Structure 1
Amino acid sequence: MTDGIDILIFGAHADDAEIGMGGTIAKHVQAGFRVAVCELTCSELSSNGTVERRKQEAAEAARILGLAERSNLGLPDRGISVCQEHIEAVAMEIRRLRPRIVFAPYHRDRHPDHVLCGQIVTEAVFNAKLRRYRPEVEPVTVEALYYYFINDTAVPDLVVDISESYEVKQQSLSAYESQFESPVGREDAVWTPLNQGYLSRVEARDRALGTQHQVAYAEGFAVKVPYMTELML
């Protein structure tokens, strides 16, 4: 058991957290918060890259962001589901890391694994606090649960100014060369939506949201219950 971290972000795959909230992660790390990321899968079905290379890229992105920890539950890529086994795996990770705040992917996204990841985390956050659920492990009550956007967006309930940390977000995304670099001249790579200007679209999204709120760049989040502003920078 650890002493607990401040923020724990779950994603279905390595790079989900960086795409959706890399600037918010960097901003909180720079302010002294302890932030961790946990992937549910090893992305073994990705069109480009190998499991080993993606682990190396995720480790480099973690270094750039300054994460306190990065973990992976090893659940099956394109095989996760809102079942007791997967909910329990996430709930136990919450109990192990003891975060104050949890983030998960938003419930609407073109990738089904992102949607399922958010649903699993929602269930796991609830189970993690129940004292008679796996009573041999101390329960954890998370103070707040937020949802970040990966591919699809909605009107955010909360907006974070990431102007000063945006360069770090871009650097963390650049670590994922297997996913975002052009496949031209690479025999082991194919064209996908991710290597056809995807990062430019992410930047345009973050810039547009920032412009709406009179800052250079911003990331948005959704909540199911009223949020406590003092929990965020």
Structure 2
Amino acid sequence: MKCDILAIGAHPDDVELGCGGTIIKFISEGKKIGVIDLTEGELGTRGTAETRAVEATDAAKILGISVRENLKLKDGFLNNSEEYQLKIVEKIRKYKPEIVLANAIDDRHPDHAKAAKLISDACFLSGLKKIETFDNNELQEVWRPKHIFHYIQWKNIEPDFVIDITGFLNKKIEACLAYKTQFYNPESNEPITPIATKDFLESLTYRAQDLGRLSGVEYAEGFTTEKLIAIKNFEGIVCN
């Protein structure tokens, strides 16, 4: 199945937090979107790999995505190795996305920046004919996405552009809260982590609101791009 967009995250919940609103919006416009989680998040302070898997399935239903897979790479030990690159290449060639959304280029969790580079390199390698990969014992066709965009996570990275997610923020937050073990719950007895606080939960709204304020919309999500983007005309640009 071909996807228009493939969103890839180091951990289950990265995609929901970083670009969940964008995914929901584009699906509402008829786009086919898949999600690839690189690890099971097994080193997380709260929850387990098993609970994260259930939560990821629940979140996928809320997002409305066409497919979700987990590569089960080692949480906390992502590296830009040939083995890991080829695992991602196989998925890029399987789903043939025009656009790949990847982790932030710099962030609090070291896996995020490592994943950003790993995914970017895999996207390039996926277009090389002399690299052979197989799906169900069949040789895969080469495929290189047209664009790689990096969503913004913990750190306040200045975006190169934003996507207007007005009307979709509440559903994004619902998808994030499907990860019941990970985020703020005053009744939970699990240890408090930086993302399990009330302030972090509220930041999903005020950060989207601030990007919206700066760009002339109600709510927005920010992205960085690896290459200069050309636009055909000024239609579709929201002006303050």
TM-score range (shorter-chain normalised) is over 0.9
TM-score, length-scaled by structure 2: 0.91
Per-residue CA shift, 1:7-37, capped at 9, x if unaligned? 0011000110111111100000000000111
Secondary structure of 1:13's counterpart equals coil
8 Å contact 2:103–2:151 — kept in the other structure? yes
Q: Higher helix fraction: Structure 1 or Structure 2?
A: 1
Per-residue CA shift, 1:177-211, capped at 9, x if unaligned? 1000336453xx11111111212112211111101
Residue 210 (structure 2) aligns with: 208
Q: Take 1:72 and 1:227, find their aligned partners in 2: how far apart are those partners?
A: 30
In the TM superposition, structure 1's runs of 4+ consecutive aligned residues that sit over 4 Å from their partners are: none
Q: Take 1:229 and 1:137, find their aligned partners in 2: how far apart are those partners?
A: 32
Secondary structure of 2:8's counterpart equals strand
Deviation at 1:227, TM superposition (A): 2.4
User: Can you give the 5+ residue segments of structure 2 that lack an aligned partner in the other structure?
Assistant: 134-138
8 Å contact 1:10–1:37 — kept in the other structure? yes
Residue 169 (structure 1) aligns with: 172
Point out the more displaced range, 18-27 or 131-140: 131-140
Q: Take 1:184 and 1:31, find their aligned partners in 2: how far apart are those partners?
A: 38
Q: Take 2:153 and 2:215, find their aligned partners in 1: how far apart are those partners?
A: 20
TM-score, length-scaled by structure 1: 0.93
Match of 1:82 among 74, 80, 87: 80
Residue 63 (structure 1) aligns with: 61
Residue 120 (structure 1) aligns with: 118
Change (3 A) 1:214 1:89: same
User: Can you give the 5+ residue segments of structure 1 that lack an aligned partner in the other structure?
Assistant: none
Percent of aligned positions with the same letter in both sequences? Answer: 34
Q: Take 2:109 and 2:140, find their aligned partners in 1: how far apart are those partners?
A: 33
Point out the more displaced range, 137-146 or 23-32: 137-146
Secondary structure of 1:182's counterpart equals coil
Counterparts of 1:57-206 in structure 2, within 5 Å, are 57-134=55-132, 136-182=139-185, 184-186=187-189, 189-197=190-198, 198-206=200-208
Structure 1 position 225 matched with structure 2 position 227: yes
Q: Take 2:131 and 2:78, find their aligned partners in 1: how far apart are those partners?
A: 21
Q: Take 1:196 and 1:144, find their aligned partners in 2: how far apart are those partners?
A: 34
Secondary structure of 1:180's counterpart equals coil
8 Å contact 1:183–1:190 — kept in the other structure? no
Q: Which amino acid aligns with 2:193?
A: T
Secondary structure of 2:167's counterpart equals helix
8 Å contact 1:183–1:195 — kept in the other structure? no
8 Å contact 1:206–1:219 — kept in the other structure? yes
Change (3 A) 1:182 1:88: same
Q: Take 1:82 and 1:185, find their aligned partners in 2: how far apart are those partners?
A: 36
Q: Take 1:185 and 1:87, find their aligned partners in 2: how far apart are those partners?
A: 38
Residue 36 (structure 2) aligns with: 38
Residue 5 (structure 1) aligns with: 3
Per-residue CA shift, 1:94-152, capped at 9, x if unaligned? 11111111011121101000111101001100000001111632100211111101111
Deviation at 1:228, TM superposition (A): 4.8
Residue 136 (structure 2) aligns with: none
8 Å contact 2:47–2:182 — kept in the other structure? yes
Point out the more displaced range, 220-229 or 95-104: 220-229
